[in-house]
Amino acid sequence: MSASRYPALGEPGPSTSKRRRVDTLEPETAHERHQRLYALKRSYDRGRPPPRPASKHELDVLKERHQFVRDSNVDPATLSWEDQLAFKHYETLFKEYAIVNLKHYKSGAVALRWRTETEVLSGIGHLTCASLRCAHHEPSPSLLAALELDDGAAPPDPDDETPLVDARLEELEVPFGYDERGERKSVLVKVVLCRECAKKLRYGRRKAKEDRERTASGSVSLSPSLSRRPKELTRCSRRAVAVRSSSRERSPRRERPDEDRRRERDDSRERVRPPSVSLLLKNVTDSGTCAQDSSRHSGQRASSRREREGER
């Protein structure tokens, strides 16, 4: 007789944690599942083995080995498998026009990449603006609907360069400088941008030019006639700055020391100083003499008045 799966009376049943255990594994690839199970196996082994380097995917290899411009004279067979993988991806790109990212154009950081096959077939970056954040980056739906072929119409001309956006495009060839594996490189790249994005691309150069002109001219304001000649303007402004600096050296501003300031303060106090004690005593004696003289004169007047009354 087989044993019952229910515990007998008085025997402990399964724990609460086991009854409430649920499978919470998220969807994972075969490689991730293999790594998880292998880590679980190693956790039950005694001791802790040294950590192994994490495995790399093909995308990680492409990011490490990618080069914006590769040397065409190098034989791919002589390269490592990582470089061969990056070279194979490099051959799938179209390197006539580039795609631009102008997110940080004010700080001078501009990112470029080559176009993919899908972008070439749709005309992005050639018949539209190459800036990723521009409103004219994608082809206009109205223009695409107008270019749809009718039945029996001739096939489109592959050399037709009619823009697919409602904006005027400019084709520019700009020097692109970048750091790659600790080495500074530079290459000329063609880009197609609208007017607004072209201004953003030239922002750094225009800002640097304005700073140089402001530094050269200083704060000297000249007449409009001189502003038409930038070379003479720079020469005159430098001469004016030199004259100003020489005049300052000839007549430097004299800073009064603390002793001079203290002496001036003492002089001002003496000007408003109250009268001395001797002067006050002199004033008192003068006032007393005046009082005696006035009392003597008043007594003489009173005696003369009494004599006149007695004669009457």
Buried b (16+ CB within 10 A) or exposed e, 41-77: eeeeeeeeeeeeeeeeeeeebeeebeebeeeeeeeee
The two three-digit tokens of residue 96, written as one number: 């006539």
Residue-level pLDDT at 147: 74
User: Is 117 within a domain?
Assistant: yes
Residue pair 130/191 in contact (Cβ under 8 Å)? The answer is yes
Residue-level pLDDT at 311: 61
CA pair distance 143, 124, nearest whole angstrom? 14
Residues 191 and 219 in one domain: no
* pTM of structure: 0.51
Q: How many independent structural domains does the chain possess?
A: 2
The DSSP secondary-structure symbol of 183 reads E
* Average pLDDT value over all residues in the chain: 75
User: Is 277 within a domain?
Assistant: no
Residues 170 and 237 in one domain: no
Residue-level pLDDT at 72: 82
Residues 128 and 165 in one domain: yes
| pLDDT confidence tier of residue 275, bands split at 50, 70 and 90 | low
The two three-digit tokens of residue 249, written as one number: 């050296």
Residue-level pLDDT at 135: 93
User: Is 118 within a domain?
Assistant: yes
Residues 74 and 191 in one domain: yes
Q: Per-residue pLDDT averaged across 185-210, rounded?
A: 93
CA pair distance 62, 312, nearest whole angstrom? 148
User: Is 298 within a domain?
Assistant: no
Residues 224 and 112 in one domain: no
Residue-level pLDDT at 5: 53
Comparing 131 with 14, which gets the higher pLDDT? Answer: 131
| pLDDT confidence tier of residue 271, bands split at 50, 70 and 90 | low
Residue-level pLDDT at 21: 47
User: Is 83 within a domain?
Assistant: yes
Residues 118 and 231 in one domain: no
Q: Per-residue pLDDT averaged across 24-48, rounded?
A: 79
Residues 94 and 173 in one domain: yes
User: Is 109 within a domain?
Assistant: yes
Residues 136 and 237 in one domain: no
Residue-level pLDDT at 36: 86
Q: Is the pLDDT of residue 278 over 80?
A: no
Residue-level pLDDT at 126: 92
User: Is 289 within a domain?
Assistant: no
Q: Is the pLDDT of residue 57 over 50?
A: yes
Residues 179 and 79 in one domain: yes
Residues 126 and 167 in one domain: yes
User: Is 235 within a domain?
Assistant: yes
The domain containing residue 117 runs over which residues? 60-140+161-195
| pLDDT confidence tier of residue 19, bands split at 50, 70 and 90 | very low
Residue-level pLDDT at 200: 94
Residues 136 and 221 in one domain: no
Residues 121 and 171 in one domain: yes
